[in-house]
Amino acid sequence: MTQDASNSGYGASAEALIAQYESITFEQVHRPVLRYFPAAPGRALDIGAGTGRDAAALARQGYSVTAVEPTTELRAWGEAHHPASIRWIDDMLPALDNVHTLGERFDLVLLTAVWMHLDTEQQRAAMQTLAELVTPGGRISMTLRHGPVPEGRRMFDVSADDVTALARAAGMTEVHRAARQDMLLRSDVNWTFLVLERG
């Protein structure tokens, strides 16, 4: 198991979280940004993949998918319940050492509800990592969660402007930004969707 403070609380709540993550679909979550995803086939990297809901949808579309998930309980569930073609890796931001050893670059990188787990220093290092993993012209699609921190988890306030500034310094530009209400209808939670492109 890969563990640091950023994924604290996930293992202990895995059963409830699996049901929650699988109660919505890839299309419901990503519909507003699907037009920004490079067309399949291609290489996709889903970082903080959770149960693999999105990794599975991308695999069905014809992407070659690598799913990174540090929480053993979530990764094991995904490996057991989603297409065997998904390559699962136990690893975590900011370094993604195990992903780096693959020596591959990706056309599409997803970070769905992950960035807010990283502190400022980790965000800076993570953006460098991402820049090294995306193909020229490739895209990163991320969602930023805004709202109260669930008990037992570690989250920070995140701003789309800060993410875009880090991305610019790492050679990437913002191609789309949108505010979004919570899919699970929590009135105190809302989201920013951001799509970045590597030059």
Contact residue for ligand SAM among 6, 123, 141, 192 (CB under 6 A): 6
Question: Which pairing describes strands 87-89 and 64-68: parallel, antiparallel, or unpaired?
Answer: parallel
Q: Treating both helix axes as pointing N-terminal to C-terminal, what angle do 120-133 and 160-169 enclose, rounded to 10 degrees?
A: 50
> Does 141 contact ligand SAM by CB under 6 A?
no
Candidates 9, 21, 158, 160; binder of ligand SAM (CB under 6 A) is: 21
Q: Which of 56, 58, 74, 170 binds ligand SAM (CB under 6 A)?
A: 74
- For residue 76, give every residue at least 6 positions away whose Cβ sits within 8 Å of its Cβ, in sequence order, or none: none
Say whether residue 113 binds ligand SAM (CB under 6 A).
Answer: yes
Contact between 198 and ligand SAM per CB under 6 A: no
Distance of CA 137 to the CA centre of its chain: 19
Residue 90 CA to residue 75 CA, distance in Å, equals 8
Element (H, E) at 183: none
The reply to whether 116 sits near ligand SAM by the rule CB under 6 A is no
Q: How far is the CB of 20 from ligand SAM (least distance, A)?
A: 8
Q: Does 130 bind ligand SAM (CB under 6 A)?
A: no
